[in-house]
Amino acid sequence: MATPTDRRTFLAATGAVAGLAAATSVGVSPAAASSGRRRDDDPFTLGIASGDPTADGVVLWTRLAPEPFEPDGGMGRHAVRVEWRVCTDEAMRCEVARGRALAAPELAHSVHVEVAGLEPDREYHYQFRYRRAVSAVGRTRTLPAARSCPAELRFAFVSCQDFASGYYPSYVDIAAQDLGFVLHLGDYVYEGDVDARGGFRDAPVPEPARAAPRTLEQWRYRYSLYKSDPQLQAAHARHPFVVTWDDHEVANDYAGTAAEGQPDLAAVRAAAYQAYFEHQPLRRASIPRPDGGLRLYRGLEFGTLASLSVLDGRQYRTVPAGTWGEGPEVRDPAATMLGREQERWLDGRLQASHARWNVLGNNVMVAGLDHDGPTGDVVWHDSWDGYPVARERLFRSLESSRASNPVFVTGDWHSTFVSDVHRRVERPGDSPVIATEFVGTSVSSNGDREVYGPYYGPMIAYNPQVRFFDGDRRGYVRCTVTPGQWRTELRMTPTVSTPDAPTSTFREFLVEDGRPGAVEV
Ligand SMILES: [Fe+2]
């Protein structure tokens, strides 16, 4: 999503909002610098992770990088073998699976092990070994069996973790929770320059990781910087992650292969996508293709309780109508957010779904936001508001499928919005509520600055669909889902200036089965 500055510029240019807060720059923060350790001493400097669980398996990830801020991560140009084990106990005595995986320089010596044959709805522990070095022990969890009726699902969703804006206390809290998985909705990294002192972190950033990345090597350094964060590593080691991206994994507000001032991003995007795959616990189905694409949209089934559709709102979207950030001419029927193929895939999932809750892991706000009152025509093109015809197709799909209890969980805005999703977004006063949307705030982006409260606050009066708004707090969202009720807790932290700031529940909301729209507890 846009930075606050971008949005203010956009709004100021359109004259939509007067008296906006002064623009602020995005700051930085430091990482564990490359140390003088010898090769092979610790090849697991970027941590371990698991992801994309199914009822019988999970992906195990690591990347061998004894020197993550040197070329090839300090591993040279040869492929090597990494051993992995899965046990039922944390002491790693009761082994149920093991194997060897190839770590090749073409994928930055990352490994993506697709473990199968595990039991459903069960906790497992895993560990890697390379030569004499063993990794930490990670914990992961499989999903419930397809036809089972789970009593409860608990998961967290997060987004927007600009390294330079602060630390990640949210991940300390997440690592202490009992969760089925963590859903990351994008802006896992940011693409801009990072200063030598890591912005608000005020600790040294290795020189190779400072420049705004363009090449594959630079994107690897960028992921190495973020992955060096101990709190992020702890959360990955504790829970399986299900990831999708938003814009800053490539460029601000990009669409397809274009962004403002960058009409051809294809090469940068291909490098960024490859580095993304290399550093996330994704399946082979997501290996970057020779054409530079990467299949990221996919589904997860939590028994009959919940079905999660993870969306990719960037790779296939058409460039917004008109010029960037202005103009109401958005009704081109060819305009698409998801691309036709992903739209068909999503429609098929909704039509076939028997789940009680249909969750859409969504990059940008769908419920709509009127920026300038009933007479205005300001459209924020980067959200679903910029793609009204595509949104209409999505809503028709929800309607015709009669998919039970659609809930959008969304990132991007560095603010919290709890909204009713009306059938006609532009007419919230006289169209039914068809879904619920929770837009989660950022883990760190915007830091401790209170920039979005004064920014969006004045607009809320024009937006009756917004049941709750907070523009000032950092944190994440925890959801507890049962057959009869969905509970959302906003987990907020008072500061991101230190990694150990406390996190607590700020507000709670409920959605009842069969009744779209959240109600504050
Ligand atoms: Fe963001």
- 161 CA to centre of ligand 1 in angstroms: 7
Question: What is the distance in angstroms between the CA of the first residue and the CA of the last residue of the chain?
Answer: 30
Kindly list the distances between the CA atom of residue 506 and the CA atoms of 149, 216, 476, in Å, as whole numbers in the listed order: 31, 40, 11
- To the nearest whole number, what is the mean pLDDT of the chain? 91
What is the per-residue pLDDT across 372-407, written as a single tens digit (0 to 9) for each?
876 666 778 899 999 999 999 999 999 999 999 999
Distance (Å) from CA 65 to ligand 1 centroid: 27
SS3 443: coil
Q: How far is the CA of 112 from the centre of ligand 1 (A)?
A: 26
Ordered DSSP codes for 211-241: SPP-SHHHHHHHHHHHHT-HHHHHHHHHSEE
Mean pLDDT score, 420-444: 95
Beta-ladder partners of 130:
133
In the reported structure, the alpha carbon of residue 464 is separated from the centroid of ligand 1 by a whole-number distance in angstroms of: 25
Band of residue 107 on the pLDDT scale cut at 50, 70, 90: very high
Q: What is the pLDDT of residue 327?
A: 55
DSSP 304-338: TTEEEEE---STTPPPPSSSTT--S----TT--SS
How many angstroms is it from 305 CA to the middle of ligand 1?
30
- Ligand 1 centroid distance, CA of 207 (Å): 24
- For 248-270, the pLDDT digits (tens) are 999 999 999 999 888 899 999 99
For residue 343, report the distance from its CA to the centre of ligand 1, in Å.
24
> Residues near 403 by Cβ (< 8 Å), separated by ≥ 6?
350, 351, 353, 355, 358
Write down the pLDDT at residue 145: 97
In the chain, the percentage of residues whose pLDDT exceeds 70 is 90
Structure tokens at 255: 């669409």
Summarize the confidence of residues 224-246 as an average pLDDT.
Answer: 98
Q: How many angstroms separate the alpha carbon of residue 245 from the centre of ligand 1?
A: 10
- Rounded CA-CA distance 275/280 in Å is 9
Specify the range with the lowest mean pLDDT, choosing from 48-57, 258-267, 502-511. 258-267
Model confidence pLDDT, tens digit, residues 305-357:
999 999 999 999 998 865 545 555 677 888 999 999 999 999 999 999 999 99
| Beta strand extents in 22-122 (DSSP E only) | 48-51, 58-63, 80-87, 95-103, 110-115
Q: Binning pLDDT at 50, 70 and 90, where does residue 366 land?
A: very high
Using a CB cutoff of 8 Å and minimum separation of 24, what contacts does 426-435 make?
Answer: 426/368, 426/370, 426/388, 428/368, 428/463, 428/464, 428/465, 429/464, 433/516, 433/517, 434/395, 434/398, 434/399, 434/406, 434/516, 435/366, 435/398, 435/406, 435/407, 435/408, 435/516
pTM comes to: 0.92
Distance 3 CA to ligand 1 centre (A): 7
